[in-house]
Structure 1
């Protein structure tokens, strides 16, 4: 029986600062999350000169009972983090589309490897750490290591003179030369 994930709405806070690059006027970075946030679409939270923080979007944080090993790895990090995945959004007035928030460092690695999206690690608030820890304690099952057995095939035997059976010939072109035997 497949269990449904536990889902929590997570607001994503993105900070816009002046860029140090001459090719882009602004730099955007996900800086925090708001557990249980309502819907938002780049709502201004705070302004301080040129620095603006937006509640960019609210996405569901889904916790799956099959991913508890990954959540444990994330919780054991020096700074437990939520991975926020964003993609350039050229079609709207906003610079990024918020795609996903995840507590799984394995899923973060998959998005980091693709190189198509921007991945930011945001520190988890203490309440979120407690929620994920409780979820893991309830659902985690240690996977028993099962060593596979080798088959009984002998790999040390020499198969000299074997070649492609489809080719008929007097000698075998795939024959390995033996040491000490004249050619």
Structure 2
């Protein structure tokens, strides 16, 4: 196994025609179906980079920017943005294309943290990321910052350390009623 690999070496893309069976009650492609495809391509990309089985540890922010219509082609692109010791962040971009007009829409971008596992389910080391351009540096730095912010959010609101009175002023402007017992 290589010590370092470029994002290009693990890059994966798939294109699929959206069928009526993929639609929701509103006649658009169901978001859950798109999430399933995103998870599959993140797995393929992470497994290609690590050369082993990977599992999804977390998904950072899924925003559905534009609806996808039945009959459109959906292309998902995935690449490694960040590598830790046993985990990696896979950036996934979703675009749709109207096959009659050729018009393309950016529908979603998300970040999947994937962890490499051995045959016994233990975390195993992965190759680092070999960055060769400024975009790679930007993606790596952004992923690292996202990880640090998530850790900070998790620890800030840890139940054993949380003090409700520190947040009451902020909550006064929200659509809620607090009745403490």
Q: Which has the larger strand fraction? A: 1
Q: Which has the larger helix fraction? A: 2
Q: Which has the larger radius of gyration?
A: 1
TM-score normalised according to structure 1 size = 0.28
